[in-house]
Amino acid sequence: MASIKPIQLVLFDMDGVLLNSKDNMRVAWAAVQRELHVTVPFEQYFEKIGTPFAEIMRALGLQKLATEASHIYFSASRQHEALLKWYPSINELLVNLSLHGHKLGVVTSKDRSRARELLSKLPIVFDTVQTPETGLRGKPAPDHILLACALTNTDPSETLFVGDMPVDHQAARRAGVRFCHASWGYGDAPDGDCEILMHPLELLPHATVGLAA
């Protein structure tokens, strides 16, 4: 019978898990298309989110435009911040996890300044926020998850990562941490080896009791 270890650290992806940012992304990508005469449709860009912006641009064959595009994209994102919406019950979830004594963190492909700016609007202070600027490999590599564990003095076997995209699941598996799929997000659920959450508050019993290791 599989052993059960209590969860000490809960890590979250940001976009599609804590924050509904799709409409904001659509407007930001439209600015890139308009100003740089990029013809790649938003849907093609969007299916690759979860990895750092520079890697998405490389995958789309737009690496020569990556620096300029990032300035345009993130400037437009800030200008249309009203389109960003925290998912329902996220505040309640985070407060409850904090009250239960969990360490909390974020592992995101969003840039550090933008991530910290947005996360400061939430009712708790995260123990660790991991973004691409650390120089480590982005998801699906496990680097940022493992760094979050190290910085919070937590074993991967006592860590749970909540994500919505295939790269999140792959990163969790490679890091040796447990994974819950946020079905309210943007990606399809992986097959078979993780818990599927239909609502943010469904995470609470998994985090407070633990999952099969």
Give the domain CATH number at 77: 1.10.150
Residues 11 and 90 in one domain: yes
Residues 161 and 79 in one domain: no
> Where do runs of H (alpha helix) occur along the chain?
22-36, 42-46, 53-59, 66-79, 90-99, 112-119, 143-151, 166-175, 203-209
Predicted local confidence at residue 74, as pLDDT: 92
Predicted local confidence at residue 133, as pLDDT: 81
Residues 78 and 175 in one domain: no
Residues 206 and 193 in one domain: yes
Report how many domains make up the chain.
2
Residues 205 and 180 in one domain: yes
Give the torsion through C-alpha atoms of 84, 85, 86, 88, to 10 deg. -170
pLDDT per residue over 127-152, tens digit each? 999 998 878 999 999 999 999 999 99
Could you say which residues of the chain have pLDDT below 70? 1-4, 209-213
User: Could you tell me the CATH number of the domain that includes residue 185?
Assistant: 3.40.50.1000
The β-bridge relationship of strands 9-12 and 103-107 is parallel
Residues 27 and 16 in one domain: no
Q: What does the alpha-carbon distance between residue 87 and residue 57 come to, in Å, rounded to a whole number? A: 27
Spatial neighbors of 202 by CB under 8 A, at least 6 apart, are none
Residues 117 and 73 in one domain: no
73: domain range? 22-83
pLDDT per residue over 18-34, tens digit each? 999 999 999 999 999 99
User: Last residue of a domain, which of 46, 62, 83?
Assistant: 83
User: Last residue of a domain, which of 67, 83, 99?
Assistant: 83
Residues 203 and 138 in one domain: yes
